[in-house]
């Protein structure tokens, strides 16, 4: 009975969002502010309805109600509670419910906006969000109903893939969806701007936190997914340029470009139509990603159950959701024009941000080409090719390199035509440190040209961030006694940006270490053998057989020591999950600041020994750490509240 209520709630919301959409379209030309209030009330209602429906689904998972198809397919009575919960969104139907929940929540938050934003703009934003809600509910109700019942419920569920029973992977989807849905908000802002013809600095100020939240969430979500792959898949790989990974990376790149473009818009009111285009495309890429993953278009180890009819439905949503705004854009964007001409020199922040946007967009298109090209070629003449890391190293990497270079120096460029006095001094300092660093790198064993370039880029960025932070902090009148106002000044002086850029530098350093200076030892070892890693010794002590809640494991015990002092015990395992009939390897990883010791157990027995793979991955934690810093920087920057003077007005057309 209860799940039916959940289903009915969905239907009610579906009808309600339909009515709202019609209402909004009808009242588009009107100047009556009551319409906005009605839309706001609707937003609250939608949120309440969907969260109730979601809670019912959640409840069904928690009590293991196997009369629901979704619970049977994705849960099992033996699963720990947290994985029963995360099993809700680890599949197609459930993930859509989660997406819709976040969508209604964000819409509700927008409806509470009390800033100076015009009521027409706000109504349109809410209107567009509602149409998105309507489309997703249509998709759910017609092709992906989570509340579908089973005629004869089984005694127990089919369990979940043991690979997915994991803290990293449990939180990867929700965080990622926060990002995707956040991009839908900026999308709505952009479309609303096209419809109402209103874009100004207030618009930019209001959209910025949403883009930032989306960007930070995407950063964390992608990093979490990669980190999971690193420790779960057993060979230390963390990025494969897989279509699904690319599908999450492209929105991230666009969000980064958008973040910077909006900054430009907010301060100098240029790149208006470009920013609008980016905001539209950000959400389109999120939808495109959804499409690729669920449609059977591209097979991938990641892909959800592939179903062409669902794919066609999403394709239709994608076409309308992107096509209509793009048509609007082609027609209306020339009306969003600023009348004041601004000037800026070649060595200005404006130029830097322009270049940043150009290169980031090209990088995004490059990844799109790499992801879709095999598909197109296959459709064209049936030939199948694959696009692997070498392609992206040859195209994506060289395109991103200038972005890194500029990232370090842009913060101390000025707006407009003012030239910074200390500019040349600062650049020389950065160049000096980088050349020094490059020399040091070239002396490390195993250094190649690529590794030196990558490492140097990281050092370049590190020194840039350092210089910028010092010079910006010096500009403050630091009254050390007053901590709060000091912190406030720091934040207003771009602390968020510094931390985020620092995060990129750390990330790059991590890549350099992990990719280029990794060492591997492969072989057959038996109990009692000792492997030497640098100045440490890894001793194979024992093999044990253990049982977990839903698996049996063969576990090796290794002890790592230096100078006869125990550093740690590593226990790589091979697990067998009887319900799923699958075997997984659990690598033993010792994560330290300067690198990971990564140990994998293979097949074997007491007679011939076991096949063992040992990696040392220098600086690999810096990859995840860098991403966390980036997200942290993003979140801090939300609290930046410099008052921008809206002294440039755009001609409004309706």
Partner 1 sequence: MINILKFYMILIFSFMITPQSYVFADNQSLNKDEIINKTREISQNIRCLVCRNQSIDESNSELAKDLRVLIKGKIIDGLSDKEIYNYLSNRYGDYILLNPPFKTNTILLWLLPFLILISGCFVMIKFLKK
Partner 2 sequence: MSYNVKIIKMLPLILFFSIVLVSGLVLYQVKYDLKDTKELKSQLIGKSIPLISIPEINYDKKINKNINFNDFKNNIFAVNFFASWCAPCRIEAPVVEELSKFIPVIGIAYKDNAEDNKKFLNDYGNPYDKIGLDNLGKVAIEWGVYGVPETFLINRNGIIIYRHAGPLLYDVYKTDILPLLE
Task: Find the shortest distance in angstroms from Cβ 332 to partner 1.
Answer: 19
Interface residues with partner 1 (CB under 8 A) are 235, 237, 240, 242, 299-301, 346, 351, 354-355, 358-359, 361-362, 365-366, 369-370, 373, 377, 381, 383-391, 393-399, 401-402, 449-450
φ/ψ (deg, to 5) at 540:
-80, 105
Q: Which is nearer to partner 1, 111 or 357 (CB)?
A: 357
Question: Among partner 1, partner 2, none, what binds residue 351 when CB lies within 5 to 8 Å by partner kind?
Answer: partner 1
Q: Which is nearer to partner 2, 47 or 329 (CB)?
A: 329
Residue that the structure tokens 């020094």 belong to:
436
The runs of H, that is alpha helices, within 30-166 are 34-62, 69-74, 81-86, 92-111, 119-143
Interface residues with partner 2 (CB under 8 A) are 273, 277, 281, 284, 291, 295-297, 299, 308-309, 311-312, 315, 318-319, 322-323, 326-327, 329-330, 333-334, 372, 375-376, 378-379, 382-384
Question: Among partner 1, partner 2, none, what binds residue 163 when CB lies within 5 to 8 Å by partner kind?
Answer: none
The span from the CA of 48 to the CA of 95, in Å, is 18
Question: Among partner 1, partner 2, none, what binds residue 622 when CB lies within 5 to 8 Å by partner kind?
Answer: none
Question: Among partner 2, partner 1, none, what binds residue 395 when CB lies within 5 to 8 Å by partner kind?
Answer: partner 1
Task: Find the shortest distance in angstroms from Cβ 603 to partner 1.
Answer: 9
Q: Which is nearer to partner 1, 414 or 488 (CB)?
A: 414
Task: Find the shortest distance in angstroms from Cβ 256 to partner 1.
Answer: 16
Task: Find the shortest distance in angstroms from Cβ 54 to partner 1.
Answer: 33
How far apart are the two ends of the chain, measured CA to CA in Å?
50
Task: Find the shortest distance in angstroms from Cβ 585 to partner 1.
Answer: 11
Q: Which is nearer to partner 1, 498 or 613 (CB)?
A: 613
Task: Find the shortest distance in angstroms from Cβ 83 to partner 1.
Answer: 24
Question: Among partner 1, partner 2, none, what binds residue 369 when CB lies within 5 to 8 Å by partner kind?
Answer: partner 1
Could you write out the DSSP letters of every residue in 307-340?
-HHHHHHHHHHHHHHHHHHHHHHHHHGGGS-B-S
Task: Find the shortest distance in angstroms from Cβ 297 to partner 1.
Answer: 15
Q: Which is nearer to partner 2, 363 or 430 (CB)?
A: 363
Please, what's the largest Cα pairwise distance for the chain?
Answer: 85
Q: Which is nearer to partner 1, 138 or 405 (CB)?
A: 405
The span from the CA of 58 to the CA of 64, in Å, is 10
Task: Find the shortest distance in angstroms from Cβ 611 to partner 1.
Answer: 10
Q: Which of 585, 553, 558 is nearest to 570 (CA)?
A: 558
The span from the CA of 299 to the CA of 304, in Å, is 9
Task: Find the shortest distance in angstroms from Cβ 374 to partner 1.
Answer: 8
**In Å, how far are 370, 400, 404 from 367, measured between CA atoms?**
5, 12, 18
Q: Which is nearer to partner 1, 369 or 530 (CB)?
A: 369
Q: What is the dihedral of CA 41, 44, 47, 48, to 10 degrees?
A: -100
Q: Which is nearer to partner 2, 70 or 321 (CB)?
A: 321
Question: Among partner 1, partner 2, none, what binds residue 375 when CB lies within 5 to 8 Å by partner kind?
Answer: partner 2
Question: Among partner 2, partner 1, none, what binds residue 80 when CB lies within 5 to 8 Å by partner kind?
Answer: none
φ/ψ (deg, to 5) at 374:
-60, -35
Residue 613 and residue 602 in contact, taking contact as beta carbons nearer than 8 Å: yes
Question: Among partner 1, partner 2, none, what binds residue 40 when CB lies within 5 to 8 Å by partner kind?
Answer: none
Question: Among partner 2, partner 1, none, what binds residue 366 when CB lies within 5 to 8 Å by partner kind?
Answer: partner 1
* H-run or E-run covering 353: helix 349-381
The CB-side HSE value for 262 (13 A sphere, CA atoms) comes to 25
CB pairs under 8 A, 24+ apart, for 106-112?
106/181, 106/182, 106/184, 106/185, 106/210, 107/43, 107/46, 107/47, 107/133, 108/43, 108/44, 108/46, 108/47, 110/43, 110/185, 110/188, 111/39, 111/40, 111/43, 111/44, 112/40
């Amino acid at each position: 009975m209860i799940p039916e209520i959940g289903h009915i709630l969905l239907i009610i919301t579906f009808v309600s969002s339909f009515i709202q959409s019609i209402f909004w379209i009808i009242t588009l030309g009107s100047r009556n502010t009551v319409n906005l209030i009605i839309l706001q009330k609707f937003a609250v209602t939608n949120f309440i309805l969907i969260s109730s429906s979601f809670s019912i689904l959640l409840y069904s998972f928690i009590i293991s109600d196997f009369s629901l198809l979704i619970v049977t397919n994705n849960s099992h009575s033996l699963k720990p509670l947290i994985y029963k919960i995360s099993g809700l969104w680890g599949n197609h139907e459930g993930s859509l419910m989660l997406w819709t929940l976040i969508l209604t929540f964000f819409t509700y938050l927008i409806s509470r906006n009390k800033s100076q934003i015009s009521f027409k703009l706000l109504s349109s934003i809410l209107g567009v969000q509602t149409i998105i809600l309507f489309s997703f509910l249509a998709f759910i109700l017609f092709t992906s109903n989570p509340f579908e019942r089973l005629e004869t419920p089984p005694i127990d569920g089919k369990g979940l893939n043991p690979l997915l029973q994991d803290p990293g992977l449990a939180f990867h989807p929700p965080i990622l969806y926060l990002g995707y849905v956040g991009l839908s908000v900026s999308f709505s802002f952009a479309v609303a701007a096209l419809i109402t013809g209103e874009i100004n600095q207030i618009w930019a100020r209001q959209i910025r936190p949403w883009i930032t939240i989306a960007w930070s969430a995407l950063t964390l979500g992608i990093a979490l997914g990669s980190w999971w792959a690193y420790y779960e898949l057993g060979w230390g790989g963390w990025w494969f340029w897989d279509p699904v990974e690319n599908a999450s990376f492209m929105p991230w790149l666009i969000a980064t470009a958008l973040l910077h473009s909006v900054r430009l818009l907010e301060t100098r009111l240029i790149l208006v139509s470009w920013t609008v285009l980016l905001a539209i495309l950000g959400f389109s890429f999120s939808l495109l990603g959804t499409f690729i993953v669920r449609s059977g278009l591209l097979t991938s180890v990641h892909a959800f159950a592939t179903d062409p009819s669902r794919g066609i439905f999403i394709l239709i949503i994608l076409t309308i959701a992107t096509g209509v705004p793009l048509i609007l854009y082609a027609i209306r964007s020339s009306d969003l024009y600023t009348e004041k001409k601004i000037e800026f020199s070649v060595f200005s922040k404006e130029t830097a941000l322009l270049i940043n946007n150009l290169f980031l967009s090209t990088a995004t298109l490059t990844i799109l080409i790499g992801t879709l090209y095999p598909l197109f070629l296959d459709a064209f003449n049936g030939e199948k090719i694959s696009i692997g890391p070498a392609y992206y190293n040859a195209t994506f990497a060289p395109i991103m390199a200038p972005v890194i270079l500029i990232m370090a120096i842009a913060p101390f460029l000025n707006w407009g035509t003012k030239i910074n006095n200390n500019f040349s001094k600062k650049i020389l300092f950065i160049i000096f440190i980088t050349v020094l660093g490059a020399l040091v790198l070239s002396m490390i064993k195993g250094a190649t040209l690529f590794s030196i370039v990558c490492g140097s880029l990281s050092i370049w960025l590190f020194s840039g961030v350092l210089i910028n932070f010092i010079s910006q902090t010096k500009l403050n009148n630091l009254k050390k006694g007053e901590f709060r106002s000091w912190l406030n000044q720091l934040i207003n002086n771009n602390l968020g940006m510094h931390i985020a850029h620092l995060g990129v530098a750390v990330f790059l350093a991590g890549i350099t270490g992990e990719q280029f200076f990794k060492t591997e030892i492969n072989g057959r070892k038996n109990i009692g053998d000792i492997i030497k890693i640098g100045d440490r010794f890894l001793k194979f002590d024992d093999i044990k057989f253990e049982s977990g809640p839903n698996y049996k494991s063969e576990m090796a015990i290794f002890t790592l020591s230096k100078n006869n002092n125990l550093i740690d015990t590593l226990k790589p395992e091979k697990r067998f999950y009887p319900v799923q009939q699958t075997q997984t390897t659990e690598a033993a990883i010792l994560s330290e600041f300067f690198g990971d010791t990564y140990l994998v157990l293979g097949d074997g027995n007491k007679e011939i020994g076991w096949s063992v793979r040992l990696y040392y991955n220098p600086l690999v934690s810096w990859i995840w750490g860098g991403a966390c810093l980036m997200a942290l920087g993003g979140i801090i920057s939300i609290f930046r509240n410099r008052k921008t003077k809206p002294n440039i007005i755009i001609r409004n057309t309706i």
